[in-house]
Chains A and B, each alone.
Chain A
């Protein structure tokens, strides 16, 4: 499986923007870049995904490098509720129309009040 590399941890202050980086130098042309996050004592939740173009939704923005070998998840104004482990994952096909997500260790984001 194509792998991703993320910093183990990052810190931010409340109300400030946060840029969470991810490297995926072995990405293939059909791999989507997905971001999930896991709040304490909960299952992971979807944040955003993209293929080539930058994407925005109500939770975050995803900036994808032109060569697709890296991406950045942007939280525009961090809140205490954004403290979580953020996973950058490549969605890869494994047979027919089936896809799977392989999680790494992610980045633990701490938000300071």
Chain B
């Protein structure tokens, strides 16, 4: 238990569906992150929110839409995804100037 909870753990969606991944942290942190991990590829940083503002967007396609309503919650809204978007999506949190990032266990996404 890392203090970062992701739901759902597994999601299968069609290319025309709209779904959302949810992340909640119970650590009192003020920065949150979305990472993507595809098979046999390094983790890719997608988005960074610091003090509830998006401060990094690593050229992520618009079919991925993040939302950070408060410092404890982070969402990743998904629509019209492609099969190549199938991956493990990891949420993480930290203090915005802190030294340690805490990851959740991830959400396994399969796009069919």
Contact = CB atoms under 8 A, between A and B. Distances in A.
Contacts of B104: 43
B75 interface: no
Interface in B73-112: 90, 92, 96-106
A106 B97 CA distance: 24
B96 A91 contact: no
Interface string B1-17: 01010000000000000
A42 B105 contact: yes
Interface residues of A, number: 23
B96 A100 contact: no
B7 to A, nearest CB: 14
Given A42-B105, A43-B103, A98 B97 contact: yes
B24 to A, nearest CB: 14
Interface of A: 32, 34, 36, 42-46, 49, 91, 94-106
